[in-house]
Structure 1
Amino acid sequence: MEQSNSFVVGGKSFMAVAINCAAKAGEWIASRLGNHAKLEQKLSAQDLVTEVDKGTERLIRKLVHTHFPHHSFLGEEGVEPGPEASAQALADVEQEEYLWIVDPIDGTTNFVHGFPYFSVSIALAHKGEVILGVIYDPMKDELFIAEKGKGAYVHGKVMKVSEESMLQDSLIATGFPADQQYALPLNMKGLNHLVPKVRNVRVAGSAALHLAYVAAGRLSGFWEIGLNSWDLAAGVLMVKESGGEVTDTMGQPYHLGVRNVVASNGSIHQQFLQELASAEACK
C-alpha cells in the first residue's frame, strides 16, 4: 500500500495516524465482544450505545490529539441523540481547518448481539471537504482506506466499483433507521418499491461497511434516510475514489450535511434515483 504521498503535516502522515487509530480501536472492540456491561438507549430502542462505544471514541480522540492537538474532532458519542443535535454539532465545526469525523462503532446493535458486522469509521475533512477515510472491520480484519485523488484500497489492493448497468441486475443495501417517526417510514417506502426491481437487497446494519462494500464492488448500491456525517464521510470518499457516485436522494452532490444518501457504482445511479422518486421515498 503506497502511502509516501499521503497528506503530511510536520512529518506526520494523516493516513498513518488514522490507520493506527482504527487498528487500536478495532482491537479494543473485538476484545469486548459479548462482554459489554452497560447498554443504553438513545433515540429509540433501535438506537443503542454501550460503554465500549464511548471508550472507543475516547481512545481515538486521545490518539488523534496526541499527534494533532489543534485539530477539531466530531464523534458520534459526543453528540446528543436526534437529527437537530447532529446538525448543530456539525455546523459548529464543519469549516474548521482540520476536522476528524468518527463513528467508534458503526453497527452497535450488531455488536451488542454478537452479530459480526460492525466497523470503526474515521474520516478527516479539510475545510469541509473529506480528504481521507478509513473503515476497519475488526471481525474480518479488513481495512478499507481512501485518500482524495489517490484511490481506495482494501488489503492493499485497489478497489473498483461493480459493473452492473441495470438496476434489475444489482445487489443493493439499506438500513432500518432508528428514527421511527420520519426516516424509517420513508426508508420502508423505498424498500417496498425497490425489492421487486433489483436482484436483491441486503440490510446488514452498518452504513459505513455498506459504503465500503459499494466501493469494493461487493454491492452495486446503497441508500438510507436519516444518517449522519460520522456514518457517511469515510465511506462516501471510498465510493468516489473507487469510481462510483454519491448524491443525496434528490440527486444533489454530497456534502457533510447530507442525511439522505444514495451511493452506487455510477452506472445505475439515475435509475436508482428515479425509482426512489417514483416511490416518493426521497424526503
Structure 2
Amino acid sequence: MNYEILCAKVIAIARLTGNFIRKESMNFDASAIEFKGLNDLVSYVDKNAEKQLVRNLTKLLPEAGFTTEEETINSKGTVYNWIIDPLDGTTNFIHGIPTYAISIALYEEDKPVIGVVYEINRGEMFYTHKGGPAFLNNKPIRVSSRDKLSGCLLATGFPYHQFDKQAQYMELFAEMMRRCHGLRRIGSAAVDLAYVACGRFDAFFEYNLNSWDVAAGAYLVQQAGGQIMNFDGGDEFIVKREILATNGHIDAEVLETIGRHFNA
C-alpha cells in the first residue's frame, strides 16, 4: 500500500466535499435542522456530505469498512476501516460561525495510517500518512516547543448533553484559566487537534468525544511530534472517550491539573 498516493486521493475527496459544504453554507435554511439528542444537531448537509465521502472513499478501497457519525453506513472491514466525520462543528455551521471541518482517518488493523482534517473556510488542509510527517497545505508542521503551562495557549470543549461531570469540569476550567496563557473553545475537536499539530495550541483536552471526532486529528498530533493520551496518561483515548493532546513538553503539568479535578 502506497500511503502517500492514497493520502493525496483522500485530500482530493475532502476538497470536493468541502466545496459542497461551502456552497450549502451560503444559503443554509435553519429549518432543515434535526435533533439527534439534546443539543446534538444534524442537517441534510451533514448527511449528504457523508454520503459523498463514503461513495468516493469506497472507490479507493472497496474492501474497507466505515465508522461514520451520521450512520449512513457502518460496516467493519477485515483490515482497513475509515473513520469519518463529514462536518465536525455542525453547531458552528448551523449558526453561521465559520469554523468546521471534514475529518477522515484510515485505520489498518486498528492502527492509524492516514489522517486528514480539512478546515473548510480557511482552506487549510491538514494531513499525514504512515511513514511521513504532518503537513498543512504542503508545508511540514510540528507541535510547539513551549514547556511551561503559564506560557501556553490551550483548547477545550464544553459538555453539551452529558452534564454529570459538569461541576468537576468547570472547576478544571477555572484553574486552567488561571494557570495558562489562555483557554479557547472553538467548537470543533478536529480543528482543535489540527491546531495542536501545527503549534497554534499547546494542548487540547475534552471528554465525551467519539472516534470520528478525534481519529484523524489525534494521528496528526502524533505525526507532528506531540502526545495523545486519556486523562490518566494512558493510550485508550477512544475507548474512554476522553482525550488530552499535548506538544509533549507540558504533559506532567496538565495531567496533574486534570487529575486533581476531573478524576477525583
TM-score range, shorter chain: over 0.9
Contact kept, 8 Å, 2:237 with 2:243, in 1: the verdict is no
**How far 1:254 moved relative to its partner?**
4.2
**Partner Cα distance (1:255, 1:150) in 2:** 23
Match of 2:65 among 72, 76, 82: 72
Quick check: 1:101 aligned with 2:83? Answer: yes
**How far 1:179 moved relative to its partner?**
2.5
**How far 1:182 moved relative to its partner?**
3.1
TM-score (norm 1): 0.87
Matched position secondary structure for 2:70? helix
Provide the residue aligned with 1:223 in structure 2: 205
Quick check: 1:43 aligned with 2:25? Answer: no
Contact kept, 8 Å, 2:221 with 2:245, in 1: the verdict is yes
Match of 2:17 among 19, 25, 30: 25
Unaligned runs of 5+ in 2: none
* Partner AA of 1:55 in structure 2: N
**Partner Cα distance (1:34, 1:24) in 2:** 16
Matched position secondary structure for 1:77? coil
* Partner AA of 1:61 in structure 2: V
* Partner AA of 1:123 in structure 2: A
TM-score (norm 2): 0.93
Aligned ranges 1:136-155 → 2 under 5 Å = 136-155=118-137
Percent of residue pairs identical: 34
Unaligned runs of 5+ in 1: 80-88
The 1:143/1:177 distance shift into structure 2, 3 A limit, reads same
* Partner AA of 2:197 in structure 1: A
The worse-fitting range, judged by mean Cα deviation, of 218-227 and 181-190 is 181-190
**How far 1:196 moved relative to its partner?**
0.5
Quick check: 1:63 aligned with 2:74? Answer: no
The 1:51/1:185 distance shift into structure 2, 3 A limit, reads farther
Contact kept, 8 Å, 1:244 with 1:265, in 2: the verdict is yes
Matched position secondary structure for 2:37? coil
**Partner Cα distance (2:186, 2:170) in 1:** 15
Q: How many residues align?
A: 262
Matched position secondary structure for 1:213? helix
**How far 1:185 moved relative to its partner?**
4.3
Contact kept, 8 Å, 1:34 with 1:113, in 2: the verdict is no
Provide the residue aligned with 1:131 in structure 2: 113
The 1:180/1:257 distance shift into structure 2, 3 A limit, reads closer
**Partner Cα distance (1:253, 1:241) in 2:** 15
**Partner Cα distance (1:176, 1:44) in 2:** 14
* Partner AA of 1:118 in structure 2: Y
The worse-fitting range, judged by mean Cα deviation, of 235-244 and 176-185 is 176-185
Provide the residue aligned with 1:112 in structure 2: 94
Provide the residue aligned with 1:82 in structure 2: none
The 1:96/1:186 distance shift into structure 2, 3 A limit, reads farther
Structural RMSD (CA): 2.0
Quick check: 1:278 aligned with 2:233? Answer: no
**Partner Cα distance (2:192, 2:154) in 1:** 9
